[in-house]
Amino acid sequence: MKTLLLHHCCVVCTPKILEYFNNLFIVTGFWFNPNIYPQTESNKRLDALKSFSIDFNYNLIVKDDYTYDIWLEEINKNKTINKPDRCKICYTIRLTETAKKAKLLNIDSFSTTLLISPYQYHEIIKEIGDKIGKMMGIKFIYNDFRPEFYNSKNIIYNKKLYMQKYCGCKFSINER
């Protein structure tokens, strides 16, 4: 069976995508989100995802430490704080790292749970994922999971796991 490295933005976006991909791939999870601010928020999201992963006996790789400075450096370098420009930078950082990790682990393809969120720029995610995939010789798997967003959210709500109130970056705190 083919393998897939699935980037996780949060636990809320996980259940329905994981259910879908588990029918097609041997899936390994990957947590890398340097955009999440502050660190306490990142910790809450990661803890919820870890709990979910344990309940579902799901292998989750966590990129070490809190890496907010990586995201902030890229945003400052590009001098942008406006959507969708900063989102494009953010997607690029996270999907590049996911593809690199997939290559390192000899995993066939990669994707992201961002694809379930109605709040994300799907066209941009797909464009970036495809570009990174071609550049690195690894397939990016795109599917529009947005119709399953509220089903996924309800699963996490019923499990009483942490559900965030904003996208993640310090700018999105005020945009909710």
Alpha helices in 5-160 (DSSP H): 15-22, 39-55, 68-78, 85-104, 122-136, 149-158
Taking only the tens place, the pLDDT of each residue in 34-61 is 999 999 999 999 999 999 999 998 999 9
pLDDT band at 112 (very low <50, low <70, confident <90, very high): very high
* CATH code of the domain occupying 3-175: 3.40.50.620
With contact defined as beta carbons under 8 Å apart, do 18 and 27 qualify?
Answer: yes
Question: Where do the structural domains in the chain lie, given as residue ranges?
Answer: 3-175
Q: Give the CA distances from residue 60 to residues 11, 44, 52, 133, 172, in Å, rounded to whole numbers and listed in that order.
A: 12, 16, 10, 21, 26
Taking only the tens place, the pLDDT of each residue in 55-85 is 998 999 998 777 888 888 888 887 767 889 9
DSSP 8-state code for residue 113: G
DSSP 8-state code for residue 49: H
